[in-house]
Every structure is written in C-alpha cells, then in structure tokens.
Amino acid sequence: MPLVQTANRYLVRYRDLSGATLESCFYASDAMEARDFAREFTAELRQRPNLISAILKIA
C-alpha cells in the first residue's frame, strides 16, 4: 500500500523590494515545501529568500 501524504494550506508572508508586505497561499506537506513553492513561483524570492517574514499553517 503506498504512503499518502496530506497537503496543508500555508500562508507565506514576504516583503517585495519596495517594502510592501505580500502574502501567497500554497498547499504543501510542510513549511519548508511551502517556502520552496513560494521561491519557485515568485521571482523576487528566488533571488532573495530572506524577504520571507513568516510561513503560517492555515487550519
């Protein structure tokens, strides 16, 4: 029987280069995967991952 991983919703909060706070929601198995998705889909985070200020699991 294969292992089934459940995906949870995560809110990734980050700042853009002008200082504005932005948020994106991702389905991921954990916070690190949500961070990876945010970096993959956001060019600014790909170059500067330290712009992420929070990764919150949404119930």
For residue 39, the tally of other CB atoms under 10 A from its CB is 19
DSSP structure class, residue 2: -
Q: Which residues of 6-15 are buried (b: 16+ CB within 10 A; e: fewer)?
A: eebebebebe
pLDDT in tens, 4-43: 678 999 999 999 989 999 999 999 999 999 999 999 999 9
Give residue 2's pLDDT: 63
Q: Which residue would you say has higher pLDDT here, 7 or 2?
A: 7
pLDDT in tens, 38-57: 999 999 999 999 999 999 99
Token pair recorded at residue 49: 């991952």
Identity at 22, one-letter amino acid code? L
Query: Domain ranges in the chain?
Result: 8-58
**CATH no. for 8-58:** 3.10.20
For residue 35, the tally of other CB atoms under 10 A from its CB is 19
Q: Which residue would you say has higher pLDDT here, 27 or 59?
A: 27
